[in-house]
Chains A and B, each alone.
Chain A
Amino acid sequence: MALKHKDLLGLEYLDRDEIETILDTAVPMKEIFTRDIKKLPTLRGKTMVNLFYEPSTRTRTSFELAGKWMSADVTNIATSTSSVAKGESLKDTARTIEALGANFIVIRHQMAGAPHLVARTVRASVVNAGDGRHEHPTQALLDLFTIRERLGRIEGLKVAIVGDILHSRVARSNIWGLTKLGAHVTVCGPRTLIPPDVSRMGVEVTTSLDEALAGSDVVNVLRMQLERQKKGLFPSIREYSDLYGLTREKVKKCKPDVLILHPGPANLGVEITEEVAESPSAAVHQQVTNGVACRMAVLYLLSGGGKPGEVAA
């Protein structure tokens, strides 16, 4: 049981059983939200370092709470305040953090594969909190958890992922997780933001939102990075919003019990209207809560068994 690797670098590297173990473990973790005393002794004496090369409030806070509620000592390093600005290499930074006694390094980096480099360098468990456009495994885990919680299953569901697929690590992690658990995935966005050969990852591809929404049980709306427009990837926010923004009218074309997800923070009025994001169909806030539970589960499962740096049994 537990996980086969010392790190969580992506859902790409997990098998179905491992993903389900994490989701199952997150169920009792979520119980802590109902308590007055949000504290478990599980990771007492362990140190967790959040190494963030990209600004992030949500993910960092979520990891921080997950660690703290399990009694780990948590430190945050953001690029602006660290020696990274002085040109220290990632490898060097990783070694320094390990020398400070870190058991977990949670890393967010703007480049794909950066967590892999850290994982190869240190014996601590490395958790990928988003690497470039590659993966954001804990986001996908919380999405899977939310889907399971709301709809009772994942196998056989139709899930549409809408938006900037090309640059989205959330999309890639979701594709891995959903397909491994037996969902049918359709990705949808403007042609300029669909990566080449993405269908080989086991998904349907469409540029038509109507087509993507039809019959979908879940719609996962991605955040649109507004600066992409300047790179000539789409002509204007207005046209993007017109073609791919999720409005009440478009939701009406979905199944009545459709579940709408958004990784946040949303550009309200661009990829999703506030009305839809706050509607009962959407689970935006539930996702945030579930994020902490899923991250607690990941930390627990990476912490156990054997010596650090070895594959957990």
Chain B
Amino acid sequence: MTLVDKAQIMDGDGMRRAIVRIAHEILEKNRGTENLALVGIRTRGFPLAERLAAAIGQIEQRSLAVGILDITLYRDDLTTIDVQPQVRKTEIPFDVTRKDIVLVDDVIFTGRTARAALDAIMDLGRPSRIHLAVLVDRGHREVPIRPDYVGKNVPTSRREIICVRLKEVDGRDEVVIQEPQDS
């Protein structure tokens, strides 16, 4: 089985505009950056968090703390998935307690990753608030979790796969819908 790109739903410009818009929304909702810190979920949440931090920094003229969260050990499907994921480091260079944390990920689907991320972050301390920012919301939630900031809502079928490509990881910026095809 191979995955075939079906349609591009966001290009580099679209992505940049979405990030800038989310940056503004975050500032608006938090009324400033005093306690604000961004935490990107591995793998693609982290470069997105860095870009968001840069966008906010440009507007506010100050730099924001950014951390990386590895949620592997918090997944609820470890015993059922075929290929066991490599555990990597969580690197959060600040104390999360009493911070306004914005969790950043590329796609929200079932909501289980966000659920794991909430547990993971709360094991590290007691933030004042946690918000969730995603580039794409593709629906099909299995848990009562809703993102606070969304780059784009994309209705999908369960069969389809949303693939976010980022320069830092994949060499270019775009979001595409893929479909499995029997080869």
Indicate if B1 sits at the interface (CB-CB under 8 A): no
Indicate if A35 sits at the interface (CB-CB under 8 A): yes
B7-61 contacts to A, CB under 8 A, are none
Between A and B, 20 residue pairs with Cβ closer than 8 Å are A2-B83, A21-B86, A27-B89, A28-B90, A29-B87, A31-B90, A36-B125, A39-B123, A40-B73, A41-B73, A70-B73, A304-B78, A304-B79, A304-B81, A304-B84, A305-B79, A305-B83, A305-B84, A306-B82, A313-B84
Q: Once the chains are docked, how many angstroms separate the CA of A25 from the CA of B70?
A: 12
**Cβ of A282 to closest chain B Cβ, rounded Å:** 27
Indicate if A42 sits at the interface (CB-CB under 8 A): yes
Scan B75-97; emit 1 where CB is below 8 A from any A CB, else 0: 00011011110111110000000
Say yes or no: A37 contacts B123, CB within 8 Å.
yes
Q: Once the chains are docked, how many angstroms separate the CA of A304 from the CA of B78?
A: 6
Q: Which residue of B lies closest to A37 (CB)?
A: B123
Known pairs A36-B125, A70-B73; A305 contacts B87 (CB<8 A) = no
Q: Once the chains are docked, how many angstroms separate the CA of A306 from the CA of B79?
A: 7
Q: Which residue of B lies closest to A312 (CB)?
A: B84
Say yes or no: B82 contacts A28, CB within 8 Å.
no
A262-313 contacts to B, CB under 8 A, are 297, 300-301, 303-306, 312-313
Q: Which residue of B lies closest to A25 (CB)?
A: B87
Say yes or no: A303 contacts B79, CB within 8 Å.
yes
Q: Which residue of B lies closest to A70 (CB)?
A: B73
Known pairs A41-B73, A300-B73; A2 contacts B89 (CB<8 A) = no
Say yes or no: B125 contacts A28, CB within 8 Å.
no
Q: Which residue of A lies closest to B92 (CB)?
A: A31
Indicate if B124 sits at the interface (CB-CB under 8 A): yes
Indicate if A1 sits at the interface (CB-CB under 8 A): yes
Q: Once the chains are docked, how many angstroms separate the CA of A306 from the CA of B119?
A: 25
Scan B151-175; emit 1 where CB is below 8 A from any A CB, else 0: 0000000000000000000000000
Indicate if B74 sits at the interface (CB-CB under 8 A): yes
Interface residues on A, range: 20 to 34
Which has the most chain B C-beta neighbours within 10 Å: A21, A27, A306?
A: A306
Scan A12-35; emit 1 where CB is below 8 A from any B CB, else 0: 000000000100110111010001
Name A residues whose Cβ lies closer than 8 Å to a Cβ of B: 1-2, 21, 24-25, 27-29, 31, 35-37, 39-42, 70, 297, 300-301, 303-306, 312-313
- Which chain B residues border A41 with CB–CB below 8 Å? 73-74, 119
Say yes or no: B78 contacts A25, CB within 8 Å.
no
**Cβ of B92 to closest chain A Cβ, rounded Å:** 10
- Which chain A residues border B90 with CB–CB below 8 Å? 28, 31
**Cβ of B128 to closest chain A Cβ, rounded Å:** 17
Say yes or no: A35 contacts B124, CB within 8 Å.
yes
Q: Once the chains are docked, how many angstroms separate the CA of A191 from the CA of B181?
A: 66
Q: Once the chains are docked, how many angstroms separate the CA of A42 from the CA of B79?
A: 10
Query: Given contacts A21-B86, A300-B73, A303-B79, could you give 18 more A-B pairs where the C-beta distance is less than 8 Å?
Result: A1-B84, A2-B84, A25-B87, A28-B87, A29-B87, A35-B123, A35-B124, A36-B125, A37-B123, A40-B123, A42-B78, A300-B87, A303-B78, A304-B78, A304-B84, A305-B83, A305-B84, A313-B84
**Cβ of B68 to closest chain A Cβ, rounded Å:** 11
Q: Once the chains are docked, how many angstroms separate the CA of A37 from the CA of B84?
A: 25
Contact pick for B74, options A2, A24, A40, A303, CB 8 Å: A40
- Which chain B residues border A70 with CB–CB below 8 Å? 73
Q: Which residue of A lies closest to B123 (CB)?
A: A37
- Which chain A residues border B123 with CB–CB below 8 Å? 35, 37, 39-40
Q: Which residue of A lies closest to B88 (CB)?
A: A28
Say yes or no: A313 contacts B82, CB within 8 Å.
yes
Q: Which residue of A lies closest to B83 (CB)?
A: A313
Q: Which residue of B lies closest to A41 (CB)?
A: B74
- Which chain A residues border B125 with CB–CB below 8 Å? 36
Q: Once the chains are docked, how many angstroms separate the CA of A300 from the CA of B83?
A: 13
Q: Once the chains are docked, how many angstroms separate the CA of A297 from the CA of B123?
A: 19
**Cβ of B71 to closest chain A Cβ, rounded Å:** 11
